[in-house]
Structure 1
Amino acid sequence: MPSFFIPLTGLNADSQALNTIANNLANMNTTGFKARAAHFADLFYQHIGSTGIGDPIQVGAGTQISSITTDFSDGSSNYTGLSTDVALQGNGFFVVSDGASQYLTRAGDFSLDSTGNLVTSNGLRVMGYPSVNGVVNTNTSLVPINIPESQILSPKATSSFGMTANLDSSTAASSTFPATVNIYDSLGQSHTATVTYTANGSGQWKYSIALPASDTTAAQTVTGTMSFDKNGNLTTIQPTGAASASTVGTASGDVSSIPVAFSGLSNGAANLTMNWNLLGTGSTPTISQVDSKSAVGATAQDGYTSGTYKEFTVGSDGTVTVTFSNQQKINVGQVALGDVANQQGLEAIGDGNYAATLASGTMTIGASGTAGLGSMEDAALEGSNVNISTEFANLIIAQRAFEANSKSVTTFDTITQETIQMIH
């Protein structure tokens, strides 16, 4: 009888709505979980006649679940302190792969497998753009993000160094001021280079650069003369042996550095060939001469000793940066993000993962901050966006709807019994 089947459709639909709400509540603490909501629609109608003016007389056949939509709004970002955790805020998903297919997920509770690959909780590899010599290439295919935990970073010989210093303009002629800078050879061994400034008077200083006698097989010194104008600005340099002085600057014919070389290192390392950079920010000379105590403000150089893996971080743009024990940092990749034209068309396959379908459209890949994609937060996780207050309110409504449909069934059952009794 239709009187029984109509409320039965309501019971079935309400049961699915209750299941949806229960699933939301069960996943309140699931990383990156997105709440879902059941939507109802009426079923077909039976045409049983028309009114005198031609209006159709129709009897409904019940209800059904027309759709279950997903709320893809952001969950709260919660700090965890673990470098393997990454929270995503804004549009998009992490791209993960099982080696054969790619999927999307908002769950950033990653970890490292035995080979250093960044993986999800169920073992899917996190995909991103590769890096070559620290430079990320976003114009190529995605590869698994790999952290070189067992890598030893080879040493780098110093190729340039600089010094920010002031030479006291009131210094008596022939007075000296020594300054030191640490440099590295090709084997990663540190050497202390001493730059000795000797006042000549009249705004000129001689310079000499040398390594400790024990560091080379023969004594070697790089010498020359520096000249300053009346404002204390470095104007020219003249390395020993040069025919004339050269203007310090960036114009054509100017010089911005002094070549420095040492050979025959005692430890067997390759010869050191460096440039002493004389210009700093804004192409301003880093060495001045004013009436103030001679002092070195800072030194810098680009060499380093060997280093072992220490830790890694993920930047807001997804760039994965590894730090080594020698304090050097190298970019080893960039976590990619994916999206689809119709997020409601994604198929939820469990473990926080989604698969693209014909309804969702083809997955598009990009870098964080481009094409409307969101940004990342390292050492944090995106929480579930389930709102407990909303879910409890929906739970009460669904419960009352279920009870009402149940009451309809019992009412029709009572009427049926009455009808049968009338026959007897």
Structure 2
Amino acid sequence: MGILSSLYTGVSGMTAQGEALGVIGDNIANANTIGFKASRAEFQDIISKNLKGILGGNQIGRGVKIGAVNPILTQGNVDATEKVTDLAISGDGYFKVKGSDGESYTRDGSFHFDREGYLVTNDNQKVQGFGADEKGNIVNKMTDIKFPRALIPAKATKELKLDLNLDSRMEATKKFDIKDPYSTSHYSTGVEMYDSQGNKHLVSFFFNKTADREWEFKGLVDGKEMTGGEEGMMSQACAGKLKFTVDGKLESQELSESNFNFKGGALQGQQVKINFGDAIAEGGKGLDGTKQYGKNSDLISWNQDGAAAGTITGLSFNDDGILTAVYSNGQAADLAQIALAKFENPEAMFKVGNNRLKESRDSGAASMGGPGAAGRGKLFAKSLERSTVDLATEFVNMIQNQRGFQANAKTITTTDELLNEVIQLKR
């Protein structure tokens, strides 16, 4: 009987509208969930009878069902925060995390470091990224992101670079005496360096003009710091010569002696390159580095590549997702880079709760890479992506589904009245 079938049609409508209200309720409940994407219930009609078979037309519908519940993958607002480990994705992509239930993916970038130094989510999933080698270069190797808690090793100085001006007006009248270096030199200055154990030493350089365009230099260290040195006396650690062109540019530099032998168990015979800049005779143009001009001698700049042992004093992410550590010895090093996963069909990913999703057959395999590469989104440090739920839109959808539920309920009550009339026929 057609009247009975209308009962089931009404029930299917009430069921579908009720499930749609459940989707709306879930959206509203997650209005403040970080990285949440609002979903939408999509209906499909049900066909139960074709009056003319394959000829088409004259088909009787038998209600409605939920055909799909798909996420609406729009971009959420990116809000700045003050937390160093907060990260937000703007565009396509997901953070990859790993835990006891395997690999999963999330847009929730509210991370923190646990007591073991791992970067983790709020449910203790370890964030995945590309690691760095010993030189701080990011390599294409997926790993847990972790910062080392141990001391970083000391680094012995291998090169001292000095940029000076040596006064061309000086007369070649002084003869250097190591017992009285300051009075017997035309110019002196001091720079720092480190031995193999990370101990800092002051190297005093003394310069003497020996000809119109020629200078010699001596590098002295306090004798008590040197093997075979006398306390209270200076010990010679290096020596060499500098030659200049007629226009004051560095023509050549020569290191004739290097004798860095520090006490305390440090490496003996430490090799240190003394670099005064871009010499013409060495294939340079003489544009950078030490000059001989007619002005007072002065140290313009200097640097060296050694460092003491150090511990981490600060961590920060940049907008490329690179985690950089700052150490107590003034050094900085890249530790890792956040990896982003891209899917061909992200709408088909499988939700597993806790703001995480898993790869499914229909989503395709994850394509891993750095932020901003191959269509992946950009990364914002000290930021979080907010939920895409629009409460006004959800309330309008709620009204529509509520009315649809009420209308389907009216279909059932009307059918009940008709069945009551059928029962009355017997009287």
TM-score by length of 1: 0.86
Q: What is aligned with 2:221?
A: 211
Deviations 1:205-242 (A, max 9, x none): 322211123322322142232222232211122445xx
Q: Is the 8 A contact 1:164 1:296 kept in 2?
A: yes
**Structure 1 residues 288-367: aligned runs within 5 Å:** 288-367=291-370
Find out whether 1:23 has 2:34 as its counterpart.
no
* One-letter amino acid of the counterpart of residue 147, structure 2: I
Q: For 2:420 and 2:168, how far apart are their aligned partners in 1?
A: 116
Aligned CA distance change for structure 1 residues 414 and 67 (closer, same or farther; 3 Å)? same
Deviations 1:148-176 (A, max 9, x none): 1x211111111112122222333444462
Aligned CA distance change for structure 1 residues 376 and 260 (closer, same or farther; 3 Å)? farther
Find out whether 1:233 has 2:249 as its counterpart.
yes
**CA drift at 1:183:** 0.6
Aligned CA distance change for structure 1 residues 417 and 273 (closer, same or farther; 3 Å)? same
Q: What is aligned with 1:191?
A: 201
Task: State the secondary structure of the residue aligned to 2:352.
Answer: strand
Find out whether 1:166 has 2:165 as its counterpart.
yes
Q: What is aligned with 2:123?
A: 122
Q: What is aligned with 2:151?
A: 152
Q: For 2:311 and 2:254, how far apart are their aligned partners in 1?
A: 42
* One-letter amino acid of the counterpart of residue 143, structure 1: T
Q: Is the 8 A contact 1:134 1:332 kept in 2?
A: no
**CA drift at 1:370:** 2.9
Q: For 1:406 and 1:8, how far apart are their aligned partners in 2?
A: 8
Task: State the secondary structure of the residue aligned to 2:104.
Answer: strand
* One-letter amino acid of the counterpart of residue 82, structure 1: K
Q: For 1:56 and 1:238, how far apart are their aligned partners in 2?
A: 99
**CA drift at 1:276:** 1.6
Find out whether 1:268 has 2:265 as its counterpart.
yes
Task: State the secondary structure of the residue aligned to 1:61.
Answer: strand
| Segment of structure 1 superposing worse, 294-303 or 404-413 | 404-413
Q: Is the 8 A contact 2:218 2:236 kept in 1?
A: no
Q: Is the 8 A contact 1:138 1:367 kept in 2?
A: no
Q: For 1:35 and 1:208, how far apart are their aligned partners in 2?
A: 73
Q: For 1:235 and 1:419, how far apart are their aligned partners in 2?
A: 116
Q: For 2:317 and 2:18, how far apart are their aligned partners in 1?
A: 43
Q: What is aligned with 2:180?
A: none
* One-letter amino acid of the counterpart of residue 301, structure 2: A
Q: For 1:29 and 1:396, how far apart are their aligned partners in 2?
A: 22
Aligned CA distance change for structure 1 residues 166 and 411 (closer, same or farther; 3 Å)? farther
Task: State the secondary structure of the residue aligned to 1:289.
Answer: coil
Q: For 1:99 and 1:3, how far apart are their aligned partners in 2?
A: 50
Find out whether 1:278 has 2:279 as its counterpart.
no
Runs of 4+ in 1 over 6 A off after TM superposition: 280-283
Deviations 1:224-275 (A, max 9, x none): 32222232211122445xxxxxxxxxxxxxxxxxx74412x23332233211
Aligned CA distance change for structure 1 residues 418 and 298 (closer, same or farther; 3 Å)? farther
Q: Is the 8 A contact 1:320 1:334 kept in 2?
A: yes
Q: Is the 8 A contact 2:277 2:289 kept in 1?
A: yes
**CA drift at 1:286:** 1.1
* One-letter amino acid of the counterpart of residue 129, structure 1: F
Aligned CA distance change for structure 1 residues 304 and 416 (closer, same or farther; 3 Å)? same
Deviations 1:312-363 (A, max 9, x none): 2233333322222112223333322223222122110101111112122223
Deviations 1:56-101 (A, max 9, x none): 2122111111111112233222222222222222222111112562
Task: State the secondary structure of the residue aligned to 2:376.
Answer: coil
Count the aligned residue pairs: 400
**CA drift at 1:421:** 4.8
Q: Is the 8 A contact 1:87 1:381 kept in 2?
A: yes
TM-score by length of 2: 0.85
Aligned CA distance change for structure 1 residues 304 and 203 (closer, same or farther; 3 Å)? same
Q: Which runs of 5+ in 2 are unaligned?
A: 175-184, 230-234
Q: Is the 8 A contact 2:163 2:277 kept in 1?
A: no
Q: For 1:345 and 1:62, how far apart are their aligned partners in 2?
A: 26
Q: Which runs of 5+ in 1 are unaligned?
A: 241-258
Q: For 2:78 and 2:135, how far apart are their aligned partners in 1?
A: 29
Q: What is aligned with 1:77?
A: 78
Aligned CA distance change for structure 1 residues 9 and 162 (closer, same or farther; 3 Å)? same
Q: Is the 8 A contact 1:136 1:334 kept in 2?
A: no
Q: What is aligned with 2:93?
A: 92
Q: Is the 8 A contact 1:25 1:388 kept in 2?
A: yes
Q: What is aligned with 1:407?
A: 410
Task: State the secondary structure of the residue aligned to 2:307.
Answer: coil
Deviations 1:15-56 (A, max 9, x none): 122111111121111111111111111111422359xxx762
| Segment of structure 1 superposing worse, 166-175 or 1-10 | 166-175
Q: What is aligned with 2:181?
A: none
Deviations 1:117-175 (A, max 9, x none): 221111211122333314456444x3222221x21111111111212222233344446
**CA drift at 1:300:** 0.8
- Superposition CA RMSD, Å: 2.6
Aligned CA distance change for structure 1 residues 166 and 101 (closer, same or farther; 3 Å)? same
| Segment of structure 1 superposing worse, 101-110 or 274-283 | 274-283
Q: What is aligned with 1:3?
A: 6
Q: What is aligned with 1:223?
A: 239
